[in-house]
Structure 1
Amino acid sequence: MLLSPAADRNQDDILSVLAEVLEEQSHRELFGLELGSGTGQHVVHFAQELTYITWLPSDIKEESRASIRAYIGATKVTRVLEPVHLDASEPWEKWAGLPRSSCDIIVAINLFHVSSFKTAEGVFQGAGEILKQNGILMTYGPYAINGVIIPASNEELDRTLRERNPEWGLPDIDVLRQIAFSNGMRLERMIEMPESNKCLVFRKL
């Protein structure tokens, strides 16, 4: 079972945004997909608190999927399905067999800055297909805005990431907004979060 201190710190803040964004739909059963679930801490925490959502966690690493299974077992949570292998950079048809218009909510936490631009494009292309009408894609992490990265800690993070992998780094919100729009979604809200992060809420038109 893997443990992420960052997930421990941010899970309640992200949960609050999720609960607020989905409040008007909380009277019905929803289906959610988490991309890049990592340790599994987030998805299990969300499932324990938002009992109207059934979650499908996913990750490209078997180590992460094993950790998710361990958290499911330890918490005995019933609304988290068996984690699947899913590479968001691939065409949506390869997304674990999920049919078109099958998801109410897709969540990607701390994914974009440690993956390629192709992955970010894939997330929006896939979400544009598998989200239901008015479905929501919520992303969380550090971002640039119109080419500007603030504060200095995020600037340093961006530099460090690009040194590790030239394809990594903080994505620009304006670029993501344009990709979203070209895939039938619009950026509905940008929410300031602790530690210089943001939640971006995109809605399928």
Structure 2
Amino acid sequence: MLVSPQAESNWEGLCAVLEDVLEDQSHRQLFALEVGSGTGQHVIHFAQKIPFITWQPSDITEEYHNSIKAYIAATNTKSVLQPIHLDVSEPWEKSGLAGKSCDAVIAINLLQYSSFKTAEGVFSGAGQILRQNGVLITYGPYAMNGIITPSCNEDLDVELRKTNPEWGLPDMDVLRQLAYGNGLRLERMVEMEEYNKCLIFRKL
């Protein structure tokens, strides 16, 4: 099992946002997809804390698939399915995800480590697989109208772009437009720890 200290430190705040956003639907069993599940820590914690959601983890890396499987086995968590290979820039049906099958899609710390093509894929795929009134939740640091604050996020953006010129903090306005083009609207923004934000998009 792989361990991400960052995932271990931020899962409770993310879980509180999930509970708040989905509380009004807690009377029924929901189905949620995590895009880029990484180690698997988030999805296991969420499943243990929120019993009314069945989780589908996904990643493109075999090493992470093995870690997710190990967490599922070690915790005996019944509401987390085996991970699937999902390249968000490809059609999502290739991964066996059916249209209008999801109540929630969550992407944690994914967009700043991705190309614009990946961001397009996240919003396009979510727009297709979310049921009406479903939510897409993205978490991480963002630019706002081309401006990045505070200085630590500016530094992060510079470092990311040095690593890969296609990476960097995504701009909220650009994401809002991407969402709108895929039948989603930005419902609200939640301020999180360490200058991160949760953006909650609702399927119209």
1:178 has 2:177 as partner? yes
**What is the aligned partner in structure 1 of residue 147 from structure 2?**
148
**What is the aligned partner in structure 2 of residue 134 from structure 1?**
133
Structure 1 residues not aligned, in runs of 5+: none
SS in 1 for 2:79: coil
**What is the aligned partner in structure 2 of residue 13 from structure 1?**
13
Residue 91 of structure 1 deviates from its aligned partner by 2.0
Alpha carbons 1:32, 1:103 under 8 Å: kept: yes
1:90 has 2:85 as partner? no
- Per the normalisation by structure 2, the TM-score is 0.99
SS in 2 for 1:70: helix
Q: Distance in 2 between matches of 1:42 and 1:92?
A: 22
Residue 97 of structure 1 deviates from its aligned partner by 1.1
Superposition pairs of residues 24-39 of structure 1, within 5 angstroms: 24-39=24-39
- The number of equivalent residue pairs is 204
Q: Cα deviations across residues 67-109 of structure 1 (Å, max 9, x unaligned)?
A: 0011111111000000010011112332x11111000000000
SS in 2 for 1:58: strand
Give the aligned residue type for 1:147. G
**What is the aligned partner in structure 2 of residue 200 from structure 1?**
199
Alpha carbons 1:31, 1:54 under 8 Å: kept: yes
Q: Distance in 2 between matches of 1:58 and 1:168?
A: 21
**What is the aligned partner in structure 1 of residue 166 from structure 2?**
167
Q: Cα deviations across residues 104-138 of structure 1 (Å, max 9, x unaligned)?
A: 00000000000111000000000110000000000
Give the aligned residue type for 1:18. L
Q: Distance in 1 between matches of 2:115 and 2:92?
A: 17
SS in 2 for 1:56: strand
SS in 1 for 2:85: coil
Superposition pairs of residues 3-82 of structure 1, within 5 angstroms: 3-82=3-82
SS in 1 for 2:191: strand
Say what the alpha-carbon RMSD is for the aligned residues.
Answer: 0.5
Structure 2 residues not aligned, in runs of 5+: none
Q: Distance in 2 between matches of 1:202 and 1:11?
A: 20
**What is the aligned partner in structure 2 of residue 190 from structure 1?**
189
Q: Cα deviations across residues 26-85 of structure 1 (Å, max 9, x unaligned)?
A: 110100000000000000000001100000000000000100011111111000000010
SS in 1 for 2:12: helix
**What is the aligned partner in structure 1 of residue 121 from structure 2?**
122
Alpha carbons 1:92, 1:125 under 8 Å: kept: no
Residue 7 of structure 1 deviates from its aligned partner by 0.4
Q: Distance in 1 between matches of 2:18 and 2:37?
A: 16
Residue 179 of structure 1 deviates from its aligned partner by 0.4
Identity %: 66
